Chains A and B, each alone.
Chain A
Amino acid sequence: MWLISGLLVVLVGVLAVLAFMYVLPLDSRDRAPVQPISFSHKKHAGDNAIPCLFCHRLAPKSTVAGIPAVADCRACHLFIAQNTPEIKKLMTYWENKEPIPWVRVYSVPDFVYFPHKMHIRAGLNCATCHGDVASMERITRGVKIKMGWCLNCHRQHKASIDCWTCHK
């Protein structure tokens, strides 16, 4: 008898730990991965107040927001902070003709159709989904992109919640 109850306790314990680990994102590698260059959004978007769309310029016209080409980074940094170690890294990438292998932080599964375009045109602030990027040294995902979270917002804004809106 004590054997069965002991096993049950262990099982419940393991499940509890699993659930705990699932709910509490203890592992930060996924939400705030180390990037190849320690690019600071705080410096760019916060201190220097560069608008998001200056670099992520595809957001108003495409499904993706787009990340700046290496040539675009270089265009500014030929004149700004040329001698810091991170910019030297950037220039090495450029000289080797290699793109910077950024690590993706935000993604939706491929069965979800998510166009940035529509959300920008609806007047949503970037921070609504991406959080206060302007204060982040390293980009960190603040929200869990789950369907319920999408639906909540769609309901609040009276956007379509038809299945085909996103799953097509």
Chain B
Amino acid sequence: MAQMIRLLSGNEALALGAYHAGVEVATAYPGTPSTEILEAIARFGDIYAEWSTNEKVAMEVALGAAYAGARSLVSMKHVGLNVASDPFMAASMTGVSAGMVVISADDPGIHSSQNEQDNRHYARLAKVPMLEPSDSQEAYDFIANAFDTSERFDTPVLVRSTTRISHSKSLVKPKEKRTLPSRKSPFRCQVEKYVMVPAYARLRHKSVEERLVELASYADNFPLNKVTWGSRRLGVVTSGAAYQYAREVFPTASFLKLAMVYPLPENLIRHFAAQVKRLVVIEELDPFLEESIRALGIKIIGKEFIPRIGELNPEIIEEKSRSIGLLGNTPLRQRVELPPQLPKRHPRLCPGCPHTGILFVLSSIGQRTKTAKSEVRATEELGLIITGDIGCYTLGAYPPLSAMDTCACMGASIGQAIGIAKTSPASKVVAVIGDSTFLHSGVTPLLDAVYNQGEITVIILDNRTTAMTGHQDHPGTGVSAQGKETKAIQIEDLVRGMGISEVRVIDAFEIKKLRSALKDSLSSPDLSVIIVRGACSVRLPRHSEPMGIDTKKCNQCGVCLMLGCPALQSKGGQVYIDATLCVGDACAICRQICARQAIALQSEIGAIKS
């Protein structure tokens, strides 16, 4: 039978590669652009896959599995590795038994993250090898190699993807089937290896340094690093997505394409550099390769012309290369100007979103409306400060809601709120956090608020899913990553169990109740929690009859437009509801806030139009 060629995303290829390489345990916490790796691998019934509570736990579960002789895979977005960095550093120290591969999916260009940190630095920090594929075929192939390298050198292996690799589809020729490695012995007691008390840790540090020396010599003969000879006038050192762009811009140059970006193949680089007249490095984000190559005493240029901010693309490389004369006399491509300023389409909360109501209440409560204009908010002391977190609700920071003053990282809202409250006695402080984020890393800061008497209100937006990354399950949903029924954590029980007595659970679509719960909580001197519960509208089975606007009653006050609901639009001064978007009675928030009762179901106002 001929090999079947498949069109796979980088993430699907990573998952299939790991499966065929005999992975037995896969763990992750969802995060763009890494989410689909676990989603794809969880579909295989003959492995164990879990959505872990957070990346730290995911790393620990994978490490435990590797200790116990099962090949394990843990995947996360770049900032997830910050959360998991503690056990990750420990994994480098203890090593593994069976192979353990850690996938970090970085996000150059900040498509959907809070920063664009370059996680190649983690390889150097933890002294572990890092592989970087440049398309789906390589994603598939490199994973198998990563498991072998992990076992051969007794180390976790990092595989770095980026948004462009994870979310691009290209052709993959997979193997026919899964091969299980000869299963290693079960967990064996090796105190000096697995128990990192100082005496043993000092010994392990020595092993790590020795391992790194071995890895560096292995890198020089690493079969996946590739030299492609073209014209010797220009040599390009590159890896990952940047390689693909550079190949297009320099079709005739010589290339050293690195599959292993740490440690570097020093002799190979020296050899390549000696063969070419001019040597450049083209890499996304930091001068990671460049600095190491320069440290070898090799003359190379990189960030002098390639930007260190944002995602690269062929245009940028072409333009910057031309500016330093690398493209010689090749004809300039014809270009037209960018279109003039066109209306932007910021991402926004969906029609029927259970976050809209509470964010509207927060934005329109007395202490906020006085400072509704951004220039006023920037200069005056706020009566109500809202610390935000990571999730769909972060979109509430945009106008017209403007109901979020901070967003740093997963779980930060509560700790930040405590700090602000301790220093701003004149202001009320509210932390807003989603259910999945709360369970990920909001529980410990809430314990801090209990212990240290933080006078704050914590609003937990409970839509019973991890919505922003595409509806993954979490400890509060009662369903596992592989669709099995399991125990569901009740957030109100958990919060009450911490000793918080002021806990309110409110329906996300009841504006009056939300407003009075918020007022009660804000007027209390104690720590209070409001759980706002309502299902994500994207998961509603089918929309009911949409709302409409009775134009005879509507006085164009525009308050409903302040919800920022995509279904509410206006044309020629008249507000109207897009019937294809409105979810009707499942939400009805606009109906509740209209002072003129001008909004009702279309049949009630007889305004049937499509």
Does chain A bind chain B? no
Q: Which residues of A contact B (CB under 8 A)?
A: none
Q: Which residues of B contact A (CB under 8 A)?
A: none
